[in-house]
Structure 1
Amino acid sequence: MNKVNVSMEYKVKVVNAVSDVPQATWDALARGEGPFLRYDFLNALEQSGCCNEASGWIPQHLVIEKAAVADQSHANDRSPISDQSLITEQALANDQASSNEEVFSASDESTVIAIIPGFLKTHSFGEYVFDHSWANAYHQHGIPYYPKWVSAIPFTPVTGSRILTREEAPFSGALLALISQAVQSMGEETVSSCHWLFTNARTQKLLGTHSELLTRYAVQFQWHNYEYTSFDSFLNALTSRKRRDMKKTQRKLVEQGIHYRHLCGNEITDEVLDFFLQCYQATYLKRSGHTGYLNEAFFHQLRDTMANNMLIVTAFKHDCPMASALFFYDDSGLYGRYWGALEEVSGLHFACCYFEGIAFAIEKKLPLFNPGTQGEHKILRGFEPIYCQSQHQLFSAPFHDAVASFLQQESEHIVAYFNQAQDVLPFNNDITPTLKTTNTTNPLLAVNNHNEKTI
């Protein structure tokens, strides 16, 4: 077998905005990866100011190209790319990096091998993988934890790919080595650590060759569509007690004159969206003292570019709107994201965010419904526990080893929590669904076999 020359195959560059990559190029790699990895979603986060230096989410995406093409000059280039190369062909060969400004052209779509969405972080908010104790430990020892680099979807704890590639892309050992060196280069230059949050199986496999990465597990709750034909058919899969409880919640709301409208696409008018924003901001302000991480410009840009992937469920009391929930969906599933209400009514959150979401997923024949992170209350409403993963590398060896030990202990509690959640699932014993094995594998085996490498 011929030895692969990494420096002659690929080149990694940093772009400081999604818009520095042609949309056709980005979306070709993100096809089938769900709504949140699409160009339009990430671009809205950046253009609205939700992700910038002021917010502590500084875009620093990695773009991997074929090196032979990446070094060419293009006369008709349209979108500039940052000249901050993490690793270039010349750097890998220990030569001086090229000083030529590099740009994309529309013809570059076939030369981009992979894109890794990433951000420099100056805090740990909006990630939903909680490392504040790690940051505190650094601080106590007089070592800066920030900035750190994360590959994640900001404010969106949804499992997905963090290395966007075409399915047929030849992911050679050379390319994986290049990614590893690029990440290591960041550690040497500016950041304390690198984190890959809510990774899917394919990304985990690609990252698995990097022995320095530690795996952290968590539990979320997800509803699966076992070919239900209606909401009632789903209820019939539950134990009689849980079925009765859910029907009782629905009945009490109906008796108060509460009903719902599902609005998608061009049905999401300015009036509909503005009412959702009023609810979202009021609820955030009441619970957190601020109006939310996401601003009006973000939601309006999404409505303009992704309305066909958006569902707004508005709850009415008689003819007066009182609450609103925003979901995203595509063929991969339904994703509940944001909610707010102008009036607190017992059971309304469950009905608007869960029951109506399940009904919509059944109607559209969507395979799953991810209602958001945390919340044991989801279990008794038919949401099954699943494991999710993140990968971490801390460039300080003592802290890296300490975190590895911590994750080993934490994983034992995660497994116990997962098993407890499974034990109280509300399904009838004779029709209990077969849980998805890819999301329910005991993580202790993986942790023991992987994290101990670095202890």
Structure 2
Amino acid sequence: MADSTTPSRTDNLTIEPVASVDAIAPGDWDRLSRTGNPFLRHHFFAALEHSGCTTATTGWEPAHLLIRLDGQLHGLIPAFRKTHSMGEYVFDWGWADAYARYGVDYYPKLLMAVPFTPSQGHRLLLSPTLRDRLKPGDLNPLLDEAAVELGCHSWHLLFPNSADQRLLEAPNRLHRLGCQFHWFNRDYHSFNDFLAQLTSRKRKSIRKERRQIAEQGIAFDHYPGHALPDSVLDAFHVFYQATYLKRGQRPYLNRDFFQRLRDGQPEQLHVIMARLDERMIAGALFLHGENTLYGRYWGCLEEYDHLHFETCYYQGIELAIERGLRCFDAGAQGEHKLVRGFEPQLTHSWHWVAHPGFAEAIADFCEEEAMDVRGYRDAALEALPYRQEN
């Protein structure tokens, strides 16, 4: 990573990149994140880095940005110097291809995101003092300068929440929209309470899918993080690897990462394993914060009717209801979630590219894409399976 000796500066604000999560005290990191979001804890990023999943070798070189106000640490942004676009879920392959066709370098780029995690949340981890002081757009030129100092040709900030979104909005900035599908708990006491809100046809369809799982003899075992044995973690990791190897892709995460996650954040971890007789056949890993359940990783070795929907969605809905969580974010992709009661939600990302010609072309693309995404979201809202109130 390029060595930054002169921090970016606006008035008495500075941004300084550091080359490891270890350069930031866990107490300082978690104080600034001020959230129960499992993906924003110091331990989560340390587990990724110390297990070798986010390193220069894997194309995820840590470059976390420290924000100082009057010399005091008042913020940080989890960030990486990337040499590819894998594991991001906001796809810029077309942009990179266009650069290559014109013989212009697209990589490295500065990515501000949670690796391998397409879930919305804070990306600007700021003290209340700094957040109150900042106006929309104040940070953008500082990020531009930080990217240049790191030898990057662009920066990309993915899946910010609404609070961060307001600070990032500025004229002539590249803004992309996406769409995901989330399930919302409307004070349900049971899965049947949820089903009662669906149209008769969708209700019968889900009940049929669940019945066919039972008829195949498949049962489910739940393992909270503090009760997750190595044998189950081993089996889950094999299933997780299979989801990538089936597509000819190397898995992003290794066994060491999952063990570190279990050992350091057991209270936020939950694994559900599908079992046929006494043999584990599939598994799904969930994390949860104060109000949201996150369905993150899943895998199986053999295909069974409706196994994915049951393990990842219906079991997850039951878990969210049981724990009184308000939202279930089951990750990227969507139409198969829509018919099962997951509702379309717009997601956001912000971008800056140094090349003025490409910046103009990408801005046009983002504007056209946003119209398509909004149209897709609106059509999905019309197709929701919930009963209409008279």
Task: Give me the TM-score of the superposition, normalised by structure 1.
Answer: 0.81
Is 2:263 the partner of 1:304?
yes
Q: Map 1:29-178; keep pairs closer than 5 Å.
A: 29-32=32-35, 34-67=37-70, 70=71, 111-173=72-134, 177=138
Number of equivalenced pairs: 382
Counterpart position of 2:144: 183
Deviations 1:402-448 (A, max 9, x none): 011111111111112111211111101118xxxxxxxxxxxxxxxxx
Q: Which residue of 2 aligns with 1:283?
A: 243
1:312–1:269 CA distance, 2 compared to 1 (3 A) = same
In structure 2, what is the Cα distance between the partners aligned to 1:122 and 1:144? 11
**What's the counterpart of residue 250 of structure 1?**
210
Name the CA distance, whole Å, in 1 between partners of 2:355 and 2:13: 28
Give the Cα separation in 2 of the matches to 1:155 and 1:429: 37
- Give the Å deviation of 1:171: 3.9
Q: Taking structure 1 as reference, are residues 244 and 256 closer, same or farther at Cα in structure 2, changes over 3 Å only?
A: same
Q: Distance in 2 between matches of 1:359 and 1:180?
A: 45
Shift of 1:53: 0.7
CA distance in 1 between partners of 2:339 and 2:17 (Å): 45
**Do the aligned partners of 2:275 and 2:281 also contact (CA within 8 Å) in 1?**
yes
- Aligned to 1:355, which of 314, 319, 328? 314
| 1:78 matched residue in structure 2 | none
**Contact 2:135 2:167 survives alignment (8 Å):** no
Query: Counterpart of 2:293 in 1: which secondary structure?
Result: strand
Change in CA separation of 1:430 and 1:386 when aligned onto 2, cut-off 3 Å: same
* Structure 1 residue identity aligned to 2:82: K
2:296 corresponds to 1:293: no
Give the Å deviation of 1:292: 0.9
Q: Percent identity of the aligned residues?
A: 41
The gaps in structure 2 that reach 5 residues or longer are: 1-8
- Give me the whole-angstrom Cα distance separating, in 1, the residues matched to 2:90 and 2:190: 35
What is the alpha-carbon distance in structure 2 between the residues aligned to residue 248 and residue 310 of structure 1? 30
Taking a change above 3 Å as real, the CA distance of residues 321 and 170 of structure 1, as seen in their structure-2 partners, is closer
Cα distance between partner residues in 1 of 2:190 and 2:320? 10
1:327 aligns to what SS in structure 2? strand
* Per-residue Cα deviation, 1:27-51 (whole angstroms, up to 9, x for no partner): 1111225110111111111111111
Taking the aligned partners of 1:179 and 1:306, their CA distance within structure 2 comes to 33
Is residue 419 of structure 1 aligned with residue 374 of structure 2?
no
CA distance in 2, matches of 1:156, 1:251: 32
Instruction: After superposition, give the CA deviation of every residue in 1:330-376 in whole Å (9 maximum; x if it has no partner).
Output: 21310001001122101000000000000000000001000010131
CA displacement at 1:186 relative to structure 2: 2.2
**Partners of 1:237 and 1:428 within 8 A in 2:** yes
Change (3 A) 1:25 1:318: same
Q: Give the secondary-structure state (helix, strand or coil) at the position aligned to 1:40.
A: helix
Query: Secondary structure of the residue that 1:422 maps to in structure 2?
Result: helix
The Cα offsets for residues 264-322 of structure 1, whole Å up to 9 and x where unpaired, read as 03211111111101111123212x22451111111111111011111100111122211
Equivalent residue of 2:31, what SS?
helix
Q: Partners of 1:181 and 1:165 in 2: how far apart?
A: 15
Partner of 2:6: none
Q: Secondary structure at the match of 1:429?
A: coil
Amino acid in structure 2 at the alignment position of 1:24:
G
When structure 1 is superposed on structure 2, of 198-207 and 10-19 the one drifting more is 10-19
| 8 Å contact kept, 1:33–1:160 | no
Following TM superposition, by how much is the alpha carbon of 1:125 offset from its aligned partner in structure 2, in angstroms?
A: 0.7
Partners of 2:193 and 2:100 lie apart in 1 by: 54
1:94 corresponding residue in structure 2: none
Q: Match of 1:275, as an amino acid?
A: A
- 1:207 equivalenced with 2:207 (yes/no): no
Question: Which one-letter code corresponds to 1:264 in the other structure?
Answer: P
Structure 2 match to 1:269: 229
The separation in 2 between residues aligned to 1:420 and 1:281, in whole angstroms, is: 35
What's 1:333 paired with?
292
- Pair 317,113 (structure 1): closer, same or farther in 2 beyond 3 Å: same
Q: Which residue type is aligned with residue 158 of structure 2?
A: L
* CA distance, structure 2, for counterparts of residue 197 and residue 249 of structure 1: 35
Aligned-residue offset at 1:165: 1.6
SS at structure 1 position matched to 2:305: coil
Paired with 2:139 and 2:274, the residues of 1 have a C-alpha distance of 51
Q: State the alpha-carbon separation in 1 of the partners of residues 375 and 35 from structure 2.
A: 33
- Equivalent position SS for 2:321: helix
- Structure 2 vs 1, CA of residues 61 and 212 (structure 1 numbering), >3 Å: closer, same or farther? farther
Would the aligned equivalents of 1:12 and 1:178 in 2 still touch at CA under 8 Å? no
Q: Considering only aligned residues, what root-mean-square deviation do their CA atoms show, in Å?
A: 1.8
Matched residues in 2 for 1:52 and 1:217: separation? 29
Q: CA deviation at 1:166?
A: 2.9
